[in-house]
Amino acid sequence: MPDLAGRVADAFAARTRALEEHALSPLAMRSYETRGRPRSEGECGVRTPYQRDRDRILHSKPFRRLKGKTQVFIDPAGDHYRTRMTHTLETTGIARVVARALQLNEDLTEAIGLGHDMGHPPFGHAGESALDELLAGGFRHNEQSARIAERLNLTHEVVDGILTHTGEREPSTLEGKIVRIVDRVAYINHDIDDAIRYGILAEDDLPRDEIETLGPNGSTRIDTLVHDLVESSSDAGDIVQSDEVGGAMLSLREFMFEHVYLGDVTRPEHERAGATIRRIYKHLAARGDDETAIVEFVAGMTDRFALSYAERI
């Protein structure tokens, strides 16, 4: 039986290599040219290595907990605000569109997209900032996400894409570079939508020049950004945006940081998040827990669990 399983896996790999050679760009990452996993294991007879990574992420507890972690607003009253889960799905969906249009590896792109925020703590950017201030070595959610990916024994390319989706380092694959840009495309536009729903912004508050460049609503802006990303990347042989559209997106991101993420209306939410994280951290440290265990526990919390845990202590 083991010999039969090995032959089936080899035959599947051979068919996949032939299909990818025909369908993918020469710049795409091939599924069976991976640099491997932290711990070696046999191949599957019905899924490529990157498809297996996708499935491991989908079935993992860190991924499931994303549904209880909000983006900007802490445990908001309302069913239509984005969570870290919906952000992840939106990012992954957009990234796959770009990957397919550029004939890159969709499975690798999907796995990176699904896993990129697995290590994000509760309370969005506010929770990350609070943990970063408390820890001697700081805290960065991309590094925590990569640690989870390594524990899941994901391939090198997926771990790399997850680690480098933010920060100074660039991804080693074009598929990773897609997720890095699309992550911003997704959260800028859906956070505008949530901020308007919450009453922080009105449509007329958005900066006029950027809106004229990108479009008057979220779907139009995403469409503009995706088409620009595909066309510019196709011409460049790399994953890039045009100066006009990319500049407008970065300017809109700066507007969101000033008026929403770090604005007066959300400041009480940030203070509440910071106080909650600090209370939990100090309690666990006083109990004698080491810093690594504290980080794992706190970063894995959902918003609601963190709030209830802090109340109990």
CA pair distance 169, 163, nearest whole angstrom = 9
Express each pLDDT in 163-206 by its tens digit.
Answer: 999 999 999 999 999 999 999 999 999 999 988 988 889 999 99
Q: Where are the domains of the chain?
A: 1-30, 48-312
Cβ atoms of 92 and 113 within 8 Å: the answer is: yes
Cβ atoms of 260 and 188 within 8 Å: the answer is: no
Q: CA geometry: angle at 229 spanning 210 and 209, to 5°?
A: 5
Contacts of 307 (CB under 8 A, 6+ apart): 74, 75, 276
pLDDT for position 79: 74
Task: pLDDT band for 75, please (50, 70, 90 cuts).
Answer: low
User: Mean pLDDT throughout 265-279?
Assistant: 90
Which residues share a beta bridge with 70? 83
User: Mean pLDDT throughout 237-258?
Assistant: 96
Task: Choose between 257 and 25: higher pLDDT.
Answer: 25
User: Mean pLDDT throughout 102-107?
Assistant: 98
3-state secondary structure at position 83: strand
Dihedral pair phi/psi, residue 168, rounded to 5°: -80, -35
Which residues share a beta bridge with 83? 70
Report CA 187 to chain centroid distance, whole Å. Answer: 10
User: Mean pLDDT throughout 87-93?
Assistant: 97
Cβ atoms of 62 and 118 within 8 Å: the answer is: yes
Which helix H or strand E contains 87, and what residues bound it? Answer: helix 84-101
CA pair distance 246, 231, nearest whole angstrom = 13
CA separation (Å) from 24 to 27, 99, 102, 190, 249?
8, 10, 8, 31, 29
pLDDT for position 225: 98
Contacts of 3 (CB under 8 A, 6+ apart): none
- Measure the N-to-C terminal CA separation of the chain; round to a whole number of Å: 55
Express each pLDDT in 7-27 by its tens digit.
Answer: 999 999 999 999 999 999 999
Express each pLDDT in 140-168 by its tens digit.
Answer: 999 999 999 999 999 999 999 999 999 99
CA pair distance 42, 64, nearest whole angstrom = 26
pTM above 0.85?
yes
The structural architecture, per CATH, of the domain 48-312 is Orthogonal Bundle (1.10)
pLDDT for position 143: 98
Cα radius of gyration (the chain): 21
User: Mean pLDDT throughout 118-136?
Assistant: 93
Cβ atoms of 89 and 182 within 8 Å: the answer is: no
- In DSSP notation, 115-140 reads HTTTT--TTHHHHHHHHHHHSTT---
Cβ atoms of 87 and 71 within 8 Å: the answer is: yes
Cβ atoms of 273 and 74 within 8 Å: the answer is: yes
Q: Does residue 99 register a pLDDT over 80?
A: yes
Structure tokens at 119: 């290590």
